[in-house]
Amino acid sequence: MTDDIRSAIGLRPVINVSGTMTSLGASIVVPEAVKAMAEILPHFVEINALQKKASAIISRLTGGEAGFVTASCSSGISLAVAGAITGPNLLAVEKLPDVATDKSEVIVQMGHVVSYGAPVDQAIRLAGGKVVLIGQATSTHRYHMENAMTEKTAAAVYVVSHHVVDYGLLHLTEFVEIAHAKGVPVIVDAASEYDLELFLAQGADIVLYSGHKFLGGPTSGIVAGNKELVRHAFLQNMGIGRGMKVGKESIYGVMAALEAWEKRDHDGIRARETSYLNLWKQTLDGRPGVTALIEPDPTNNPLDRMRVIIDPQEAHITAWDLAAALRNGSAPIIVRDHEVEHRYFYLDPCNLHPGQETIVANRLAEELDKARASNEIIATPFEDLSRHRFDGMLRWPD
């Protein structure tokens, strides 16, 4: 890499081994999308006509009847739910989130109400949807869903994510079967999923994807599926979707990213990522208090990550203090630390520029050597992390 703009504008040159995280910019935009965005930016276009062109590409890659590009996958949730509530009623579109139709209830399994940086249920409520939670956090059964649906049910939302509870809940095919028996459309949030065809093939009516995570397009979301339901979601651009609008460059950038996806050397990328994981495992194996495990993605995306388990008594540092040391060093490394209270974090290899894998390995060795040389165990009380988690946001921009 040359001419890193981050240093020029006073930003830290972070290395992302956390994954496709919005807080870090989500992904490396592919060259095809960068080129497309630059080409269209100087020109005026009719946005709805451009969205129609995008619809054709989205349909080809997802198997949906239609699709469009919006600001984010979160926007896609709100627009799809809003479309299910309003249908083609333009007055109802204008009145949201005040609901002027009979149907506004949205079924969601309790174990799917997670935060992706904001709560899933808030995206539904923004659209005027009344969230109807079914089951418990770790169990949902057919009778929960069958008895929750009424004449007021507008849609059912299903979330595919590593954040959700991954046992004891209704699987998508069963969820779809139960919903469709009552004529209720199913909306799937598949923001970070690799397979663009699976969920529609399993019976979902609308599927929402990130345009910028695995696809490597600009910040955006993709709405795909049943033509009538997609059209009703698209109409929300005359209402709540106005604040979620997407520019010509993002629409065209997503189109280019989708076409590049068809030609991508997926096997070659997987092989490269595997070599990174092997390097990190070689770096960590045999170190006191450190266990390095290569594990598959929990939602069956075709990639592996490394779980780094830390025994603070032997390593002389906790998992969260090691994550903080990596984050705060001269070459800042951001790990995937959502579950760090369980004494481990993950290293995700999918967003690295060539050579960065070696920097990660060296920084891991450096911080672990430093901790082992300490006479004391570096152990910040975990409660302190919780207490101060949002201090930076609450002080922003100071």
State whether residue 25 is helix, strand or coil.
coil
Contacts 24+ apart (CB under 8 A), 202-209: 202/172, 202/173, 202/176, 203/172, 203/173, 203/176, 203/177, 204/158, 204/172, 204/176, 205/229, 206/80, 206/230, 206/233, 207/62, 207/64, 208/73, 208/76, 208/77, 208/80, 209/62, 209/73, 209/76
Closest CA to 105 of 84, 82, 131: 131
Q: Flag whether pLDDT at 1 surpasses 90.
A: no
The model's confidence at residue 2, banded by pLDDT at 50, 70 and 90, is low
Task: Kindly state the average pLDDT of the residues 19-41.
Answer: 90
Domain with residues 29-263, CATH architecture: 3-Layer(aba) Sandwich (3.40)
Give domain limits for the chain. 29-263, 266-393
Q: Flag whether pLDDT at 3 surpasses 80.
A: no
Q: Flag whether pLDDT at 301 surpasses 90.
A: no
Tell me how far apart the terminal alpha carbons of the chain are, to the nearest angstrom: 31
**pLDDT score for 170:** 97
Dump strand ranges (E) for the chain.
Answer: 15-17, 66-70, 105-109, 130-134, 153-159, 186-189, 206-210, 221-225, 290-296, 304-310, 333-335, 344-347
What are the tens digits of pLDDT across the range 177-227? Answer: 999 999 999 999 999 888 999 999 999 999 999 998 889 999 999 999 999
In the sheet with 304-310, reading across from the earlier edge strand, the strands are: 290-296, 304-310, 344-347
Q: Domain 266-393 - what CATH class? A: alpha beta
* pTM to 2 decimal places: 0.92
